Structure 1
Amino acid sequence: MSKQFSFAALAGASCITLAALATPPAAAAPALAAPGAPIATLFSGTTSFAHTARCSQGPAGVVRTPDGQAQRVMVTAAHCFEVKGEQVEPVVYAPVRANGGVEYPRVGAVEKQRTEFALGNGELMDFYRIIDEPDWAVVRLDPGVEASGTSTSLDQKGRGPSAPVAITGVKDYRNLGPGELISIDNAGQPICKDGMRTGRSCGVQLFRTQNFVWHFGVRYESGDSGGINYDPRTGEAIGLSIVGLGPLGNSQQVDRALEDAYGIPDGQVNQAFTPATPAERADFAPLYEDIGQFSPEAPETVDGPQPREMLDNAVMGAQADAAQLSAEAAQLPSAPNPVAAAQDLAGRADAAARGRAGEVRAAIDEYLR
């Protein structure tokens, strides 16, 4: 907002300028829209957050619609607003620590939401439609609500936080063609998630359908829904946590959500959506504190990283070492002294393998304890 000055104030302009220089700018409020952070909803006709739905946040940023409008948004799962037997208000709140307890400032309201597939007469394609039915909601942020582009999370007992990851953009998969039910062009690629229930976990992509990336090893639990899924190598947002069946799960593709919500052409999502910049996040309350206001049986906090996070980090560290050493090995023939370079590489590889093996073993012991 521009400021207007009257001519009468011109005489004191130098004093105003000096005062302005001496006064530091007001700090932005901590971000309430932040990937991996918790959200709460309200049922119609109540002002109490006791026993209402809890979910997690997906990516936040600015979307530019084809008609030239720019909107500040956060993407999450549609089913967070579809609780059986209840009417859920299409408004998002964030549980944050404040005034010695947990408060629920408003984040924004649902602006766009999935359109359910129309079913036919029980033909084979109906089964495909059911398992590939989109599950996204776009929340328009309220004025004054800050957003962060950094993904991190605490688990339900307050363990963590996971290491911050800057979200750099959206993984823009090509849309499947007519009659193309699945694609394996993503098979073997890594995927990680942040969520308010189980914190961070990582796995591997298996295949994808029109709306979902299917993966193994990530593991979702109730409350992780809507949380960001991303590529740990690039920081690109892949999807939103939707359904977990043990180690098998699926992630609503963020590119499909934005394309469908705003009519963005395939392949142009990153021209239309810009993730929020990294920013200080609000002091989000973990689930045990949130529900502890309403139930004395809430679990106590446990300090330190989750066992699963420790194991994921140890394995990913070993994979990173292996990739780096492999790249160095490929350069050995062009080294000034290939023999000496190979001996040095072998020594460092042995040391790295021994160190990483100890980390992985310790993480496995902690995970199985």
Structure 2
Amino acid sequence: MRFDDNTPFSHTPRCSQGPVGTVRTPDGQVKTVMLTAAHCFEVDDKTVRPETFTPVRVNGRVEYPRLGTVDAQRIPFEIQGELFDFYRIIDEPDWSFVRLDPGVSGSGASTSRDERGSAPSPEVAITGVKDYRDLRGDELISFDNAGQPICKDGIRTGRSCGRQLFRTQNFVWHVGLSYKPGDSGGINYDPRTGEAIGLSVIGYGPFGNSQQVDRAIEDAYGIPDSQVNAAFTPAPPAERADFAPLREELTRAKAENPPAAPAPAPAPTPAPTPRERLDQAVGSAQADAARFAGEAQQIPGAQNPAAAAQDLAGRASAAAQHHAEEIGAAVGGLLPRP
């Protein structure tokens, strides 16, 4: 991902790759897509381009060929101020589909190296998607997956495996995967079957949750429950590019892409002239006078007119004293000095 400005790659968001494959939409479209986490494109208050790039070693340098652009992305819940919103907040979807550019191919095998560049984890072919039964009605949590294994790959911590605990409508909750920033969006899979389970989202020490891949495909492309595998076909395992591990990439990127030059400091605002100071002081006094006059007209209709009048008188007196001092100082600036 890259910020929508001149910020170099060494200062842009980084996430991991989720499942890659072909999706067939109900209206007949066929798209080659890669999944990742939506929050990778929602960084603080900065706008992130809806594009993805990848760090590849080329002739001793790190280059960033573009992979594609966002094709579909989650829509955050609108909070309604209801008790049910708490559940919706912790179960808010977090998926983004990147449509790969023509000529870009992806591997359907899951593997990773950690940030230090350790040996890559053994490749695991992704065979399909774990298509969980959607929760219905008042069913907020299901334990039908409790105890089942789950593994993940990510650019920060590499591979780790654990156990599923339970699931909500959008997330599988688990223990043992231990995500760190940068692992977000990475594939979570069932080591027994090779089915894609989810995308790494948030870690709370040994606990964490992953966005269910089946729910993401259903919501993004209007696929009915239980029909995800008829609509999505994982890419076959393929040879991978020579990707730079995170630490190496950052070290080289910072050397090759120095921080953007800071914007020049704005020119100092010239101090107002004595005449401008007087005009400002008089204008401020007139504005307060008009405001207090408007409040005075409302006093007869107040619940306690006497108290309202007393309050207004106190505030008007203080304002008058303040404006008198301001105007006096401004007038003094206009007078010739002895």
Give the TM-score normalised by the residue count of structure 1.
0.68
Counterparts of 1:97 and 1:183, CA distance in 2: 44
Q: Does 1:221 align with 2:180?
A: yes
Instruction: Give how far 1:85 is off.
Output: 2.0
Counterparts of 1:212 and 1:244, CA distance in 2: 12
Q: Which amino acid aligns with 1:135?
A: D
Q: Does 1:144 align with 2:103?
A: yes
Q: Which amino acid aligns with 1:155?
A: D
Q: Any residues of structure 2 matched to 1:298-313 within 5 Å, and which?
A: none
Q: Which residue does 2:216 correspond to in 1?
A: 257
Q: Which amino acid aligns with 1:75?
A: L
Contact residue 151 and residue 190 of structure 2 kept, 8 A? yes
Q: Which residue does 1:269 correspond to in 2?
A: 228
Counterparts of 1:263 and 1:217, CA distance in 2: 32
Counterparts of 1:46 and 1:133, CA distance in 2: 31
Q: Which residue does 2:189 correspond to in 1?
A: 230
Q: Which amino acid aligns with 1:107?
A: L
Contact residue 160 and residue 199 of structure 1 kept, 8 A? no
Instruction: Give how far 1:113 is off.
Output: 0.2
Instruction: Give how far 1:288 is off.
Output: 1.0
Q: Which residue does 2:28 correspond to in 1?
A: 68
Instruction: Give how far 1:293 is off.
Output: 1.6
Q: Any residues of structure 2 matched to 1:67-146 within 5 Å, and which?
A: 67-121=27-81, 123-146=82-105
Counterparts of 1:63 and 1:217, CA distance in 2: 31
Instruction: Give how far 1:119 is off.
Output: 1.3
Counterparts of 2:143 and 2:190, CA distance in 1: 16
Contact residue 56 and residue 242 of structure 2 kept, 8 A? yes
Q: Any residues of structure 2 matched to 1:346-357 within 5 Å, and which?
A: none
Q: Which residue does 2:15 correspond to in 1?
A: 55
Q: Which has the larger radius of gyration?
A: 2
Q: Which residue does 1:189 correspond to in 2?
A: 148
Counterparts of 1:139 and 1:82, CA distance in 2: 15
Partner deviation per Cα, 1:121-167 (whole Å, 9 max, x = no partner) = 2x321100100000000000000001111110000000120010000
SS of 1:229 mapped into structure 2: strand
Counterparts of 1:161 and 1:149, CA distance in 2: 15
Counterparts of 1:111 and 1:54, CA distance in 2: 19
Contact residue 228 and residue 239 of structure 1 kept, 8 A? yes
Q: Any residues of structure 2 matched to 1:159-174 within 5 Å, and which?
A: 159-174=118-133
Instruction: Give how far 1:295 is off.
Output: 4.5
Contact residue 120 and residue 126 of structure 1 kept, 8 A? yes
Q: What is the number of equivalent residue pairs in this alignment?
A: 255
Give the TM-score normalised by the residue count of structure 2.
0.74
Contact residue 213 and residue 239 of structure 1 kept, 8 A? yes
Partner deviation per Cα, 1:83-118 (whole Å, 9 max, x = no partner) = 002110010000111121111000000010001112
SS of 1:199 mapped into structure 2: coil
SS of 2:215 mapped into structure 1: helix
Q: Which residue does 1:204 correspond to in 2?
A: 163
Q: Any residues of structure 2 matched to 1:336-355 within 5 Å, and which?
A: none
SS of 2:12 mapped into structure 1: coil
Instruction: Give how far 1:120 is off.
Output: 1.2
Counterparts of 2:244 and 2:144, CA distance in 1: 38
Counterparts of 1:98 and 1:294, CA distance in 2: 13
Q: Which runs of 5+ in 2 are unaligned?
A: 256-338
Counterparts of 1:203 and 1:46, CA distance in 2: 40
Q: Does 1:177 align with 2:104?
A: no
Contact residue 197 and residue 224 of structure 1 kept, 8 A? yes
Q: Which runs of 5+ in 1 are unaligned?
A: 1-40, 297-369
Partner deviation per Cα, 1:176-207 (whole Å, 9 max, x = no partner) = 01111100000000000000000000000000
Contact residue 76 and residue 136 of structure 1 kept, 8 A? yes
> How much is the aligned-residue C-alpha RMSD, in angstroms?
0.9
Counterparts of 2:252 and 2:183, CA distance in 1: 20
